[in-house]
């Protein structure tokens, strides 16, 4: 079974720490990104999410958001699934959408990556 709790590292060496998953699947943590829109230093930002408990023999799906409020006016939503390979290694696969604030409705087209 996959356990979301713990420390995770992605391909860009950013870190995510999930402190615990409740019985209802809710979790909190922090995300330390080394990739920023403006460049510069790494920053820690809060994350909040939920895990869907898998049915028999399945792997859990999850979603979480990260508020980049300490260095950017943006929010990212991640969705993914946790897998365990034959050797017992846990892997999270995710897709994400980043939304940054823009000054007008006319600029809305460039606000989501």
d(CA 29, CA 66): 9
pLDDT at residue 12 in the model: 81
Just give the CATH number of 6-110: 2.40.128.30
User: Which of 19-23, 43-47, 57-61, 84-88 is least confident?
Assistant: 57-61
1-25: pLDDT as tens digits? 788 899 998 888 888 999 988 989 9
pLDDT at residue 43 in the model: 73
Domain locations in the chain? 6-110
Phi, psi at 12, each rounded to 5°:
-95, 10
User: Is 38 a residue whose pLDDT tops 90?
Assistant: no
For residue 105, give every residue at least 6 positions away whose Cβ sits within 8 Å of its Cβ, in sequence order, or none.
Answer: none
What value does the mean pLDDT of the chain take?
87
């Amino acid at each position: 079974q996959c356990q979301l709790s713990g420390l995770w590292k992605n391909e860009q060496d950013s870190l995510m720490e999930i402190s615990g998953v409740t019985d209802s699947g809710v979790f909190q943590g922090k995300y330390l990104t080394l990739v920023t829109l403006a460049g510069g230093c790494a920053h820690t930002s809060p994350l909040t999410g939920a895990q869907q408990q898998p049915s028999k023999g399945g792997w859990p799906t999850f979603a979480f958001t990260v508020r980049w409020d300490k260095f950017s006016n943006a929010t990212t939503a991640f969705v993914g699934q946790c897998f365990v390979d034959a050797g017992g290694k846990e892997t999270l696969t995710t897709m994400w959408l980043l939304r940054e604030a823009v000054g007008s409705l006319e600029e809305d087209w460039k606000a989501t990556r």
